[in-house]
Amino acid sequence: MAVEPNVLLLDEPFGALDAQVRKELRRWLREIHDRTGHTTVFVTHDQDEALELADRVVVMSKGQIEQIGTPDEIYDTPNSPFVFGFIGQSNILPVRVENGQLWIEGHSIGVSAQGEADGPAQLYFRPHDIELLNGNGGCIAGVVTVTRRVAGTRHVELDISAANGKVEIELPPEKVTPDHSRVAFRPTRWKLFRD
């Protein structure tokens, strides 16, 4: 290894390590970077690793740059369907924009899309960016097919219809939803993309 390098190049250095060791090494590498100020180019397919370590993230697909930005910009305002789906978990549903409202299969889901042109679109939202509702209209509803505890959240898979398939939402761990129960929700943060 070079002494006092100007640039440090790392190509998936933590790939073969277990999760706990990876976490410790990420913290150690970030501390070195903050202490020395050296530019580090870190190549990874682990999105959590990229978001945790980077000051700036470059998302690439098929050899082309899709988006460059801070971790917050990349995660919160992805500029393409690829970036939205690649960085973090996401759900994708076909919707129709009509008079500033989003519709799925002929019913409004209670989401305002003022300023969006009427017509078909793809609704992207993250599993944790939802609010639970009572299910009396203006929502997306489905039947629980799988529920599992994942660290500090409960992941719930819902079958929302034959045409739209399944979505996954995250709930607090104490919110137990038995299989075959009905859950209604609405996305609170989302993005529309057109073909």
**pLDDT at residue 8 in the model:** 81
Q: What does the alpha-carbon distance between residue 125 and residue 30 come to, in Å, rounded to a whole number? A: 30
**pLDDT at residue 162 in the model:** 64
Residue 119 belongs to domain with CATH number: 2.40.50.140
Q: How far is CA 193 from CA 55, 71, 101, 118, 183, in A?
A: 27, 21, 15, 13, 26
Q: Please indicate, yes or no, whether residues 50 and 124 belong to a single structural domain of this protein.
A: no
Q: Please indicate, yes or no, whether residues 100 and 178 belong to a single structural domain of this protein.
A: yes
**pLDDT at residue 2 in the model:** 59
Q: How far is CA 127 from CA 44, 66, 71, 153, 157, in A?
A: 23, 23, 18, 11, 10
Q: Please indicate, yes or no, whether residues 121 and 187 belong to a single structural domain of this protein.
A: yes
Task: Say if 129 falls within a structural domain.
Answer: yes
β 7-11/39-43 pair status: parallel
Q: Please indicate, yes or no, whether residues 184 and 123 belong to a single structural domain of this protein.
A: yes
**pLDDT at residue 158 in the model:** 95
Q: Please indicate, yes or no, whether residues 48 and 123 belong to a single structural domain of this protein.
A: no
Number of separate domains in the chain: 2
Domain that holds residue 37: 7-55
Task: Say if 30 falls within a structural domain.
Answer: yes
**pLDDT at residue 1 in the model:** 55
Task: Say if 98 falls within a structural domain.
Answer: yes
Task: Say if 80 falls within a structural domain.
Answer: no
**pLDDT at residue 45 in the model:** 86
Question: Which contiguous run of DSSP H or E holds residue 140?
Answer: strand 140-150
Spans of the chain, pLDDT less than 70 = 1-3, 162
Q: 62-114 pLDDT, tens per residue?
A: 999 999 999 999 999 999 999 999 998 999 999 999 999 999 988 999 999 99
**pLDDT at residue 10 in the model:** 87
Q: Please indicate, yes or no, whether residues 39 and 96 belong to a single structural domain of this protein.
A: no
